[in-house]
Amino acid sequence: MDVVDFISQLEDESRKADCFKLIDILSELTGEAPKMWGTSIVGFGTYHYKYASGHEGEWALLGFSPRKKETSLYIYSQASGSENLLPQLGKYKMGKACIYIKKLSDIDEGVLRQIALHSIEFITKTYTRIQ
């Protein structure tokens, strides 16, 4: 599905606006256009990972997914400095590899940008970014 079509099918207008704002932010930070990863994740850029276990694959550099109750932000890595920024982010929940928010206005956009930049830097240094 096309990214715009995917976002446009959301019923909540404020959620749509948040998603389009996230597209602007994440496109700017990555220099990449959004694309669908599966049926519900909007991703920006691609990198190849390979873990010590031998498991490997490709994943989006940054991304988000408007889930039923919250939006999942795939912007967090355990990059140096990111942990110190989380207390300044605002109202969110932390998952294993993502940040959950109810609405974009609940968090500080500047802090979100800093965390995303830390993540891009970490991923680029640790894995192979695919152009």
Low-confidence ranges of the chain (pLDDT < 50): none
Contact (CB, 8 A) for 28 and 84: no
Q: What is the CATH number of the domain that holds 22?
A: 3.90.1150.200
Give the number of C-alpha atoms closer than 13 A to the C-alpha of residue 85, restricted to the C-beta side: 22
Indicate the angle between helix axes 109-126 and 13-30, nearest 10 degrees.
50
- Give the whole-angstrom CA distance, residue 40 versus residue 111: 25
pLDDT at position 51: 87
Domain count across the chain: 1
pLDDT at position 97: 79
pLDDT, tens only, 46-61: 999 998 999 999 999 9
pLDDT at position 60: 96
- Give the whole-angstrom CA distance, residue 10 versus residue 82: 31
Q: What is the pTM of this model?
A: 0.93
pLDDT at position 131: 74
Indicate the angle between helix axes 109-126 and 82-89, nearest 10 degrees.
160
The token duo for 123 is 């991923």
Domain that holds residue 72: 3-130
